[in-house]
Structure 1
């Protein structure tokens, strides 16, 4: 049996990222790991303590009993029919950043879609958050993803309801790159309401799974797949998350892997943002981000991708020359004043004040009344 077929079999046999199985693969290669499972004999040196050996032997027996149910030839045939490809360590498309997971790395990945996984992950950011997102969180995720995608950053998320879906859709709306790491087979739409989104990802982006086609999701696999989301990307942005959100698990993995962790603040009264605020108060704290430039500054080239400082809003009176602004500021907040009074207040001669009053009237800042000149309601709003 060659290595690729063995790795395909292992993705169907064991739960993703099993430490024991990865140690067996390191010990004797994927075909050797399968042979060990068939034989049921634990190699010397794999487990140290008696307790570890007992657990390892129990795990081997579990896999040995499941082995007859694995039909790798059928999995590969179905994958070929669906346009799904198997990517293994050492392949050109395999992202080397997955090796950072050590004993919890994937055995192989099943991919569906035209995008190249490794190239897409060179400039990538994970965007995760609450499934039960608020309109605020959904809007921020979509806008942030769209603007990052416009700047050629790949958006990586988990295809779930709420923030995940908003991030994928934002990137697609900007005709950008996005990929979803799933807890089920790449041909299984879960949640079912996202069938259209997954179809678009399969045609324009990428669907990624550690399990063969046809695999249905299990609750435990949603947390397990978060490590892959964190490992594939340069950093993770949590847009909206409750105090005990699964998105915080992705942030935890990103921190363990030495990736940047970022959080978008929300209203202090919103329970949906408590997890983000928790990250911002952690030690070390997550980086607070509110716009794509700040994300790029955190993840981009050192000294080259600096975020420009936000600009203060420019008010209409900011465009006035200093003398005109002085005349405007000498008008009373209530009531009216004559040109002579304004000239005295402004410290200017009457001719200059009359000329500036004409400019201010043309700009809609002041108006003439029987009692003199006064501020318009528009000028008060513009201040």
Structure 2
């Protein structure tokens, strides 16, 4: 039996190298039968039970490997992949893509479990398959597993106790697996956590508020979730560590390359006392699209999100948009009315019904007394940028032109979809076509 063209023994070795240790592993390994010895009925039943358990273990291994492979195959937040894996399971869904089953055959397999779901996805499957197949490379998956094992990273799936339960709120757009560096205990404590986010170009005021907020929330038993960026994020992590609390950082790229590089020491400390997580495999570089999608994990994994300082166009407003769309509590800290660095927070409070919070006590109250805000839908639709445009721009270069097929592969989209987006961007003056391909226009 092979998975992604690899022998079962090879797959097992790759999965075991990044597995989360379990106390039950050794207990479940029963004694091997003695060679040449007669077996009584009790021993025979034990052997049969062990055989069933071995088959189940092999299926579990194949499923874990497939979920890890899916992380190399799709871009974050791919709802089509989420629906397919939820319906068929990671291993069966991966086999269908590898073996190039036609969309009708895959839809028929889904219909056996959920006919309504099959009808809804059948029209989207052809485009989804066209997105995924250019990335079908077993070598990329093997490389991701090997790199993770080399740095001591682990693969966790929704079946693991360490899986952040809040991510289930993302539905089909939830990550299929997460790569972890750090402690699984910190992940489990995300069930009581608050996300602290804000501007990279933070002021002294913003950093002071972040320091006080993180320390006060840790004292109240909350874990601190953020994105390890410069400014507010970094201060929130540092303060949580200084207060001997749990802190979790979500990255936009692989956990093998800490980003930003200036926070290498900080992220290393987080792996020692907390957790660093990413849905991207080792070797994956952060892009603008992946940062935006990373923000949805921060918002979903936490019980509430607080924006501490943000300009009108700060990326932390994107995290706020995800929190509002999920119906999670959203708070914002006011700042001086003359400070552009707080204009985004004031906008959240004025236009989108974010709760005005001024200290850790009020932030903690968000978790207990939140009611869905009227502005949630308005915030979600107004602040989340076009996904396709972001992904195409991420796949382009400012210096060298790239052909259409290469852009589609890099963006994880179909050639037709990329061509459509490029046409719109060209009309806006954002991209230019050269004889050898497409390039970001100089004026951008």
From the superposition, tell whether residues 278 and 70 of structure 1 become closer, same or farther in structure 2 (CA, over 3 Å): farther
Q: Equivalent residue for 1:166?
A: 235
**Counterpart in the other structure of 1:299:** 367
Q: Hey, what does 2:102 align to over in structure 1?
A: 41
Matched residue, 1:58: 127
* Contact 1:14-1:63 at 8 Å conserved across structures: yes
Equivalence map 1:182-197=2 (5 Å): 182-197=251-266
Match of 2:329 among 255, 260, 266: 260
- Structure 1 residues 243-285: Cα deviation after superposition (integer angstroms, max 9, x where no partner): 12211111111111121000000100111111100111124x1
- The change in CA–CA distance for 1:47 and 1:267 in structure 2 (over 3 A counts) is farther
231-240 or 251-260, which deviates more: 251-260
Deviation larger for 197-206 or 69-78: 69-78
Deviation at 1:29, TM superposition (A): 1.0
- Return the alpha-carbon distance in structure 2 between the equivalents of residues 68 and 109 of structure 1: 20
Instruction: Give the Cα separation in 1 of the matches to 2:365 and 2:131.
Output: 48
Structure 2 residue matching 1:32: 3-state secondary structure: helix
RMSD: 2.0
TM-aligned CA distance change 1:250 to 1:263, over 3 Å: same
Secondary structure at the aligned position of 1:71 is classed as helix
Alignment partners' CA distance in 2, 1:49 and 1:107: 20
CA contact (8 A) 1:40 1:64 kept: no
Q: What residue number does 2:174 align with?
A: 105
Query: Does 33-42 or 161-170 show the bigger shift?
Result: 33-42
Q: Residue in 2 aligned with 1:127?
A: 196
Aligned 8 A contact 2:147 2:256 in 1: no
Structure 1 match to 2:313: 244
Q: Which residue does the alignment assign to 2:244?
A: 175
Q: May I ask how many residue pairs the two structures share in their alignment?
A: 299
CA distance in 1, matches of 2:195, 2:96: 37
Counterpart for residue 142 of structure 1: 211
Paired position in structure 2 for 1:341 = none
Matched, 1:14 2:82: no
Q: Deviations over 1:12-71 (max 9, x none)?
A: 111012011011112211112212222152223667589x83x53233123112112653
Q: Is the 8 A contact 2:162 2:184 kept in 1?
A: no
Matched-pair contact (CA < 8 Å) for 1:124–1:154: yes
8 Å Cα contact 2:148-2:154 kept in structure 1: yes
5+ residue gaps, structure 1, are: 303-383
Partner of 1:288: 356
Q: Deviations over 1:195-227 (max 9, x none)?
A: 111111111111000011222111100010111
C-alpha distance in 2 between matches for 1:150 and 1:240: 22
TM-score, scaled to structure 2: 0.64
Rg larger for: 1
Counterpart CA distance in 2 for 1:264 and 1:70 is: 47
Shift in Å at residue 116 of structure 1? 2.0
Unpaired runs of at least 5, structure 2: 4-61, 112-116, 371-444
Question: C-alpha separation between the residues in 1 aligned to 2:149 and 2:251?
Answer: 19
Q: Distance in 2 between matches of 1:235 and 1:226?
A: 13
Give the structure 1 partner of residue 347 of structure 2. 278
- 1:17 and 1:107 in contact (8 A); partners too: no
Does the 8 Å CA contact 1:112/1:186 hold for their aligned counterparts? Answer: yes
Tell me if the contact between 1:137 and 1:163 (Cα under 8 Å) persists in the aligned partners: yes
Aligned to 2:65: 5
Decide whether the 8 Å contact of 1:40 with 1:60 is kept in 2.
no
Moved over 4 A (4+): 45-50
Instruction: Indicate if the aligned counterparts of 1:37 and 1:61 stay in contact, CA closer than 8 A.
Output: no
Distance 1:92 1:71 in 2: 28
Residues 264 and 170 of structure 1, relative CA distance in 2, 3 Å threshold: same
Q: Is contact 1:9-1:70 (8 Å) kept? A: no
From 73, 77, 85, the counterpart of 1:25: 85
- Is the 1:115–1:204 contact (alpha carbons within 8 Å) kept by the matching residues of 2? no
